[in-house]
Structures are given as C-alpha cells and as structure tokens.
Structure 1
C-alpha cells in the first residue's frame, strides 16, 4: 500500500471541543490518532482556514459562528495529531471552504504519475467537509477506490453523520464501520 493515502479532514480544535465542537467529535480523536500512527501509506491533513472577516463571507452568513480563524488555538490540529504531523513533516492543505480543490488536483496529478491504490478519509465534519472532499476526490479520480472510516468521523449531529455516510455510499465511496 505504498501509494495509498489517508486524508485527515479538519481535525481542528474548534471542531472538537471549541466553537463547533461536539461530544461525538471528541469521542473519535483517539481513533483518528491511532489510524494516523498505523496507516501504511501517505498521510495528508486539511485545515479549515478562515480570516477575521469570516462573518462577512457567504459561509459566515450561513453559519454565523467564528471558527478556525488562522493562527488561533481553534484553527490548530488536535495536539496529538499536530505532534505526529510535525514529527513526520506531513503536508497540511489550508482550505477556505468545505472541499480542498488543491488537494484533489495534487492527488489527481500524482495518480497520473503513479496510480494511487486507494484513498481513505477520516475526520470532521462527516456531513460537510468529509463528504465534500470525498466527492471531489471521486470526481477527479473516478477509478481510484475511495473509502471513509465511519469510526473515525463525526458529523454536526449523529443523524447528519449517518446521512452523509449514506450519500457517500450511494456515490460508490466505501463506508467502513
């Protein structure tokens, strides 16, 4: 599985125990840390990244809760994940919205050079950023097997989490439970 990827989506403090945190998000942190430590392929992170004018953006008008403002504690990865990321010098894609176009384009280019065996996604929030990135990756690379580990994801609510898993499964993204 040398050319396989684990995409760790937005495991940031504001989504865990900060402005938009949930008990379900807090409950998956150790599962995600274990997955990152044990993953045999390449690991990349995404970071929801907003500026102080967040509330004036379209997203901010629709979700008027300041979160993941670059440079704040809420923007940072969970401590254990940041320690692994820094130790291994793993890439982190900053993104201003739900899906990372840069990540999808980079992996699509990588796939053209050397076929990617698989891409697995974990992280937060299942029903917003995980599903957005999964579908974007599927759109860029329809023949690459893409999966999501439900034990390492949490949604805004448990019901929204399940709805996103159903949506991804409908789009031929394997859901591991």
Structure 2
C-alpha cells in the first residue's frame, strides 16, 4: 500500500500554508501529517508486516514520493510510545529492533479503521497534489545540491559574504525552477 517507487527527493515550499503540497498548516517542522497521523500510519505499516525503524522511515518516504521523510527523532519516540502502550513489541536483532503488532495492537488498529482510512486518504491526496515521481536525473541533481551544501557547511563557519553567495545561488535556482 505505501511502497511506491521513489527514493530521495525534495521540494521547496513557500507562500501561504494552504499552498503547501501536503495541505494543513505549516508548523515549526513543516510536517505534512496531522497530529496523531504518524501513530496510525506507523501502526498500520507494522500491521502489514514486522518492520525495523529504518524500514518505517523509508516506507513513509516512499509513500510521499520522496517529498517528505520523517526524522528518526520523530519515528523512534513514536515507536517507543506504541511499545510502552502495548500496541507493538520489539525483538532485538543485532543493533536493530524489529517491531511487530501485539494482539492489543491488532485490536486497536481494527477499532481505529476510520482514523487509519482518513490518514491513508490524506496521504493519497498529498501524493496526487505533489505529482509523479521526479525523473532520476532530478533526484541525482537534488542529492548533489544537498551534498554540496553539507560539504560546505562541514568546512567550518561561514562568513557573512559566503552566506550571501550561497543563499543567493539557492534563491536563484529556486526562482528558475519555479519559472520552469
């Protein structure tokens, strides 16, 4: 259900929150999911098959055609909460944990069909608004840009002039892309 092709990608979101490709309000972290959605999405993914945390992150990224990737800082606390509430259990496999539904988790998922269906609907709506998977060469170019910025930032503090040059280049690229 959630595993649709794309790998890494990204998008530039600007303007009013109603223009955001995933709908909803753009909060501090610009999350495309509503409050509580992630819990049901994670539980549903684990209900499909036992998964590691990284697999859950990748499944959600794929579900959003690479336009949104939840951070480990969001996924792992969610997994901890689901485990503490008895909805999932984990089995340690080397350095990883494999998460599975408990009987209580299956019952909760069955009782929350409306919430899960609503999350799936919002996810499909977001996918439709965002569009098809980007071409592979676009993904490569986006990854190159991300890597270039990370390499430059790792070299140490930026001077005000360097910040101006980099932000100018990024803003010009964004403007050119928006006009295309």
Structure number having the greater helix percentage: 2
Greater C-alpha Rg:
2
Shared topology, TM-score over 0.5? Answer: no
- What's the TM-score once normalised by structure 2's chain length? 0.26
Structure number having the greater strand percentage: 1
